[in-house]
Structure 1
Amino acid sequence: MSLPNSTSDRRVVPLQPRQPIGGAIIDAQGREIPITESMIQRACQELQRQLNKDNRPT
């Protein structure tokens, strides 16, 4: 097996939002749940909502 010797030999394949990206969480029953792009996006959106809520003037 040989390694590609130029960037033109490589392809970038975008992930689908529900395709696992290499990590997992363990649920309360001990099952492994693959982490997906959409899970990460939802977590980031929730974090942003919380940050916006905490930074409102009182």
Structure 2
Amino acid sequence: MKTRLDRARQMLTQSDMGLATIAEFLGFTNQSHFTRAFRQYAGETPSDFRKRGREMMQ
């Protein structure tokens, strides 16, 4: 699971793929499952992580 979520972090900051697409690509059953797992792992939602990551790049 950690490997998939690390890959998700990379995809969130380096691509414009939607959350549902990333979830499907990484093998989660749906976007909701992905969001719950990501929040538990990273302490924030995938959307918040993406937004914060992009702000840091500017």
TM-score, normalised via structure 1 length: 0.35
- Bigger RCO of structures 1 and 2 (CA < 8 A, at least 6 apart): 2
TM-score, normalised via structure 2 length: 0.35
- Which structure's residues are more often strand, by fraction? 1
Structure showing greater Rg: 1
